[in-house]
A and B are shown apart, each in its own frame.
Chain A
Amino acid sequence: MATTTAPVGVATGTRTSFAAGVWSWITTVDHKRIGVLYGVTAFLFFLIGGLEALLIRIQLARPENTFVSPDFYNQLFTMHGTTMIFLAVMPLSASFFNFIIPLQIGARDVAFPRLNAFSYWVFLLGGIFLNLSFFLGGAPDTGWFGYSNLTSKQFSPGHGVDFWAIGLQVLGISSLAAAFNFIVTIINLRAPGMKLMRMPVFAWMTLVTAFLIILAFPVITVALVFLLFDRFVGTNFYVPASGADPVLWQHLFWLFGHPEVYILILPAMGIVSEVLPTFSRKPLFGYPVVVYSGIFIGFMGWGVWSHHMFSVGLGPIADSFFALTTMLIAIPTGVKIFNWIATMWGGRVELKTAMLFAVGFIAMFIMGGLSGVMHASPPADLQQTDTYFVVAHIHYVLFGGAIMGIFAGIYYWFPKITGRLLDERLGQIHFWLNIIALNVTFFPMHFVGLLGMPRRVYTYAPGLGFDTMNMISTVGVFAIVIATLVFIVNFLRSVRSGETTGSDPWGGATLEWAIPSPPPAYNFASIPTVHSVHPLWEADASDLIKDVNRVRGPIHMPPSSYWPAVAALGIALLMSGMIFGWWFGIPGLLIMLVGLYSWAFEPCH
């Protein structure tokens, strides 16, 4: 692997390199290819999570339905939540971090290309491990937040919770490695002249997200370590009989869990902050305020976790404090919404699919935000806790918000990634079907929630006023399925035979649009010098474009390496050895050590 004969100049992402063999994908350290791997893998997990949701909704279509057993229902909603959060939305965001961030900041790759490959392989193996539980004795069934002491050996004797806890630890390693990488990449690899306040908002939100990840994930790591010790060694961290307090889990979990909410939504906010100005032909309104709001949300996200725990009974002082901070965090979020609206105001708005999804994001996120602020009031929250009202809220924020934002990003950057456009007509159908379907699905949940229908219960009695609205929700989910199928058809067709496009189909303002689509392996033949937040909207843009594509001398690119994948495999085997036994764990440990040492001593230049 010491050879440095990397084929510089071969464009990635084209048909030739797709056919270049699995090995080149396993050993790749190119941020663009890793971004594609992240995107495709995460989308497949998104479909698995969606299938789980579909089964849940079929079960709830009618009262006293027996489509799935209560046990399997518990596994379905647990895996639906866990999959969508850790295997779909986070890695879909990571796919954009990978592909777009180096291009936006004018870099040839991330700061640590092999660490980047390592993140992906750990993510893939962790996701597979978690889903294997369905076939090996039953998936986790304690909810995505796994409240103690339901997760104890006494109440969850099977291996489901073990798969969940170990799987999340493995995925945590992947998220942490990626976050360290992107912090350094964004701070250290910016093109000359790109001061922090000249960075695209997406790069800013990625930076804030990465800081949230590195500070939030260690907390859940510790919470899960305690859980694993309790389950495997017999310690008493969450055992009330020994004087322990199961609320400790809730504090640790939500101290991670609330920043996690912003880890899910900030990248989508970054994406729409790129899409809205491009299709309004206007710079983002109040760029610094949007950036500072994002940073403020990142800070404040640490001071609101107990609003998930009002029903615990923490006392009036704690409740008041967390109610106030929760209302406070609505302010920077509202500021952003007004900035996005003001960006469109007076602009030449062009309603391409990407723009529709961005506008849809704002509308749905406002609705999710409003029901969120309602939870800030402890008396109201006590009525809503554990009802479908909360389910409605999180789906407006995460499906209407994060996923719509991600779709905006897919339609926006697809031409940059593939050199082809997604079909606009199918895109419009996808958008309208999707936004109508999601409202049909999730809006009635507000009502059944306020009527008192509890979440996470596999069925309900007839005649409580839930019947019609549950049926409507289930019909809505089928429409979401159709919308998603329209997208998949569009994607598969466009990837092969979509309309080809030049470097800049939308007239974007940021550096990724200055280079060919798909970008060459080295991205920028010459590293540009940046003088503004929107370099391609300046008068000298054509000079800049000519300049960045002119090769001036030899370009050094890192060679490919299989050691990151080896190290990832070792870690996955080592961790799964806790369930499968030492004949997995010991080889895993050895493979990991060989992988890490070979990686460390492999010449990278």
Chain B
Amino acid sequence: MAVAAAVHPAPHEEHPTSTGLSSRKMLFWAFLGSECMFFGSLIATYLVYRGRDTVGPHPHEVLNIPFTSFSAFVLLMSSLTMVLALAACQHGDRRGTAGWLAATALLGMTFVGGQCYEFTHFFYDGLKLQGNLFGCTFYVLTGFHGTHVTIGVIWLWTLFTLAIRGKLPQEKSLDVEIAGLYWHFVDVVWIAIFTLIYLIQ
């Protein structure tokens, strides 16, 4: 069966699939399902260990709800700009795509900056990673979330670079959509973390 067949430089579109859904998008949904178990385990550990500390500082002594509410609001707004970036890309609006991507990334950076400020503050309040259970569960859980946001920010700047060089045309809006899925997921996880750690103490 050695058949020499010419190989075509195929156009950049995905092969037809059994379900009609994009394979890349499906992979990403599966990845997010996996991420749910990852954050689920981290959050469950935080909840299991809540209230077991014999030494402080305790959550109500360090958590600054107004400040974190503000950074949570910033992160939520970044989901809006992400949606606008995708819409712009789907309409072939190059400047709009780049602009909204940059806005999303900047909002994400604001959130990460807020987290750095918060961590520093808590550290000087005596909350240590090596200290009590609240310390280690809090830092590791929110730290992993912050890492996710940081990876998202890098991803968004990568897309931004593509967009301003005109390499993110309408046909490639899936690239933006998948980054958006990730971004919205990280956002939703923060709603859960914010509610469970900050609001319900």
A interface list, Cβ under 8 A from B: 4-6, 8-11, 111-112, 176, 179-181, 183-184, 187-190, 194, 214-219, 221-223, 225-226, 229, 233-237, 242-245, 248, 252, 255, 516, 520, 525, 549, 551, 553-557, 605
A-B contact pairs, 9 of them (CB 8 A): A8-B4, A8-B7, A183-B26, A184-B23, A188-B23, A214-B37, A242-B53, A245-B48, A557-B7
Instruction: Give every chain B residue within 8 A of A215 (Cβ-Cβ).
Output: 33-34, 37
B interface list, Cβ under 8 A from A: 1-12, 17-19, 21, 23, 26-27, 30-31, 33-35, 37-38, 40-42, 45, 48-49, 52-54, 129-133, 135-137, 140, 144
The contact of A236 among B2, B4, B27, B132, by CB within 8 Å, is: B132
Are A605 and B5 in touch, CB under 8 angstroms? Answer: no
Are A235 and B5 in touch, CB under 8 angstroms? Answer: no
Complex CA gap A180/B41 in Å reads 20
In the complex, the chain A residue whose C-beta lies closest to that of B53 is A243
The contact of A10 among B2, B130, B137, by CB within 8 Å, is: B2
Instruction: Give every chain A residue within 8 A of B11 (Cβ-Cβ).
Output: 605
The contact of A5 among B7, B23, B40, B137, by CB within 8 Å, is: B7
Q: A222-B42, A525-B1 are in contact. Are A188 and B6 (CB under 8 A)?
A: no
Task: Determine chain A's interface SS by DSSP, over half rule.
Answer: loop
In the complex, the chain A residue whose C-beta lies closest to that of B141 is A222
Are A243 and B133 in touch, CB under 8 angstroms? Answer: yes
Are B27 and A184 in touch, CB under 8 angstroms? Answer: yes
Question: Measured between C-beta atoms, what is the minimum distance from A448 to chain B in Å?
Answer: 37
In the complex, the chain A residue whose C-beta lies closest to that of B136 is A235
Instruction: Give every chain B residue within 8 A of A5 (Cβ-Cβ).
Output: 7
Complex CA gap A157/B136 in Å reads 21
The contact of B48 among A214, A221, A248, by CB within 8 Å, is: A248
Question: Measured between C-beta atoms, what is the minimum distance from B108 to chain A in Å?
Answer: 19
In the complex, the chain B residue whose C-beta lies closest to that of A243 is B52
Complex CA gap A259/B12 in Å reads 39
Instruction: Give every chain B residue within 8 A of A6 (Cβ-Cβ).
Output: 7
Are B54 and A223 in touch, CB under 8 angstroms? Answer: no
Are B18 and A189 in touch, CB under 8 angstroms? Answer: yes
Instruction: Give every chain B residue within 8 A of A237 (Cβ-Cβ).
Output: 45, 133, 136-137
Question: Measured between C-beta atoms, what is the minimum distance from B87 to chain A in Å?
Answer: 24
Are A226 and B45 in touch, CB under 8 angstroms? Answer: yes
Q: A180-B27, A184-B27, A188-B21 are in contact. Are A605 and B9 (CB under 8 A)?
A: yes
Instruction: Give every chain B residue within 8 A of A556 (Cβ-Cβ).
Output: 7-8, 10
In the complex, the chain B residue whose C-beta lies closest to that of A559 is B7
Q: A214-B34, A243-B54 are in contact. Are A223 and B41 (CB under 8 A)?
A: yes
Instruction: Give every chain B residue within 8 A of A8 (Cβ-Cβ).
Output: 3-5, 7
